[in-house]
Structure 1
Amino acid sequence: MDIKQLTYFKAVCQYGGFSAAARRLHIAQPAISIAMRKLEAELNLTLLHRSDRQITPTVEGEVLLGHAIRIIEMSEAAELEMRELRGLAKGEMRIGIPSMLGSYYFPPILMGFKHRYPALSLSVYEQGTRRLQDMIRTGELDLGVVVADPPPEDLETRLLTREEMVVCVPREHPLAARSSICMEEFFSHELVVFKTGYFLREFIDRYSQKRSLPPKIAFETNLIPLTKAIVRQGFGITTFLRMVVEQDTQNDLVAVPFDEPVFLDLSLAWKKGGYLSRANQAFIDFVLSQTKDMKHHLPQ
């Protein structure tokens, strides 16, 4: 066994097939098929269930997959640390950010970090916070911004900010003049919601299940501009973080709080016990320094 074989094996298991793994690894598909046959021959074990639709690991393959993930992570960490010991100034950072924060909160932070460390390359990925947590666990991301509720035991987290969830309605909507809205009244309207995996959708789903109150979902979309357009045209109302409504340039949407205010704690997260490169540590220190003053004024 070598690292290349284990890397191919992990990719086949992760993406469910030789072709998908080959595309992700940017290599020819036959090279992966040959490598997997050689690996099985070396170990004298069948590691993969092969079917027309999807390839999955056997029981023996599941055992090897656990070892492969740990070995690959340790190899990558060792290689990274050796590069840093040689004093390389350049490096790539993979950061995951939810769409609302990526549009309204993080741009000045990212630009400020790039200005301070121009040699570092930033790759920013947009996903829902649950997906971002999974990507950190599997090593696809170095860092991510998540809603740590409940706090994930296998991730290190540092609080960045607390943001209020509000109801977003057009300025001419009857609810726009209200000082607050109860949750039951919110659920009585046609709603525009994020898809499953995003924290605002999780909030709606949890409340719906808790109160046995099915939401009237008119549209599902992760596109913030489209959501705003739908709300503006009167085809539904939605929930946003307050910053998204207050920073809207058209100024024709209104943020109305819930009568029992709802706040989300947004945290920077990385894998617990994993190796943090100097670049990643510099990013953590920079982001926390930029948000330090905000945390003194967080609502309790």
Structure 2
Amino acid sequence: MDIRQLRYFLAIVEEGKISQAARRLHIAQPPLSQQLKLLETEMGVTLLERNTRRLTTTEAGKLLYDRAKIILELVNGTMEEIRELSEGVRGTLAIGTIASLGAKLLPERIHDFQKRYPEVRFQVWEGDPNRVMELLENRIIELGIVRLPVDNGMFNMINLPAEPLVAAMSRHWNIGDNQPYVKLSDLENKPLMLLRRQQGTSMYHHRMYIMDLVEDACREAGFEPKIICESNDIMTLLTWANHDVGITIVPQSAMNLIPNAGLQFKEIIEPSIMSRPSAIIWLKGRYLSTTSKKFLEYFPLDKPCLEQ
């Protein structure tokens, strides 16, 4: 059994069909089938059942698959670490983020990091938390910035500071005079535009998203919110607010998304409404490049345990 056979086996299991695995690996199907047979012969067990249209992994195959992922991650990480020793901090750092947090947390840190390590390039992917976690699982990015919760068994994390919700509005509304805040009761009967959850994994199907938080807070304050728009795109809500369609309620970090717009951002008080906690996360058990480790030093809260 060698590294090449383990790579082949992982591809077959993940694709479910030898033909699809062969296309993924850019090799012909007969040699791939032959390598699978050789591996099973060498180990003396059946790894995949072939009596259905899609291959089914046996118990022995599941065990090998789990171990093969660990072995290949260690091999890939070792090769990367050796390369980095000779080249220093360079290469590409791929980060996934939700838009509002990325606008707040990344520009200054990336500016300082790039000055210190000018050989590093950045790839930044934006999406909802489910999309960012998907990118992490598929090894497309190394680090992700999301709102919690996440699977603690799958991800390491550094917790980030909590932030309040703010009302974003044009000057037309003149709510709260010149104060930097508005009372929640001031928003009664006002046309509200709220951020709703993106459909995704069940982990996010609970009452902790902005729309749910605002609705619950309004009802506890004794009134039903007047919601004229729901969207999963925060830029859409801010743009519509800037065009005086209504008032949107967003995390404070969203103030950084359109800095030159004529919007007023006012913190909501009596009661204050806090957004869902956030964190910078990465896959457990995955080798982190030196570049990623250096970048994590710019997030000093709750110093991470860099598991390898």
Same fold flag (TM > 0.5): yes
Q: Secondary structure at the match of 1:167?
A: strand
Aligned to 1:193: 196
Residue of structure 2 equivalent to 1:296: none
Amino acid at match of 2:266: A
| Match in the other structure for 2:250 | 240
Q: TM-score, normalised by structure 1?
A: 0.69
Q: How far has the Cα of 1:217 moved from its partner?
A: 7.6
Correspondence list, 1:42-53, <5 A:
42=38, 43=40, 44-46=46-48
The answer on whether the counterparts of 1:92 and 1:123 sit within 8 Å (CA) in structure 2 is: yes
Quick one: which amino acid aligns to residue 76 of structure 1? N
Offset, 1:187 = 11
Structure 2: distance between partners of 1:209 and 1:14? 42
After superposition, the Cα gap between the structure-2 partners of 1:21 and 1:121, relative to the gap in structure 1 and judged at 3 Å, is farther
Change (3 A) 1:190 1:68: same
Q: Distance in 1 between matches of 2:2 and 2:34?
A: 11
- Do the aligned partners of 1:92 and 1:120 also contact (CA within 8 Å) in 2? yes
Q: Give runs of ≥4 in structure 1 deviating > 6 Å.
A: 15-23, 198-201, 208-215
2:171–2:263: 8 Å Cα contact kept in structure 1?
yes
* Residue number in structure 2 paired with 1:164: 164
Bigger proportion of residues as helix: 1
Which fold has the larger relative contact order, with Cα–Cα distance below 8 Å and residues 6 or more apart in sequence? 2
Corresponding residue of 1:122: 122
Deviation at 1:18, TM superposition (A): 7.5
CA distance in 2, matches of 1:209, 1:22: 51
Tell me how far apart the structure 2 counterparts of residues 116 and 168 of structure 1 sit (CA, whole Å): 36
Aligned length: 282
3-state DSSP of counterpart to 1:261:
coil
Indicate conservation of the 8 Å contact 1:231/1:238, yes or no. Answer: yes
Task: Provide the alpha-carbon RMSD of the alignment.
Answer: 4.5
- Aligned-pair distance for 1:50? 7.1
Counterparts in 2 of 1:186-225, with a 5 A limit? 189=192, 191-193=194-196, 195-196=198-199, 203-204=209-210, 207=213, 218-222=229-233, 224-225=234-235
Structure with greater Cα Rg: 2
1:281 aligns with 2:277: no
CA distance in structure 2 between the aligned counterparts of 1:262 and 1:100, rounded to whole angstroms: 15
Identify unmatched segments of 5+ residues in structure 1: 293-300
Partner residue of 2:182? Answer: 179
> 1:231, 1:13 → 2: CA distance?
49
The normalised TM-score by structure 2 is 0.68
Structure 2 residue 68 is matched with structure 1 residue 68: yes
2:22–2:29 contact (8 Å) kept in structure 1: no
For residues 239 and 159 of structure 1, the distance between their equivalents in structure 2, rounded to whole angstroms, comes to 23
Q: Is 1:251 the equivalent of 2:265?
A: no
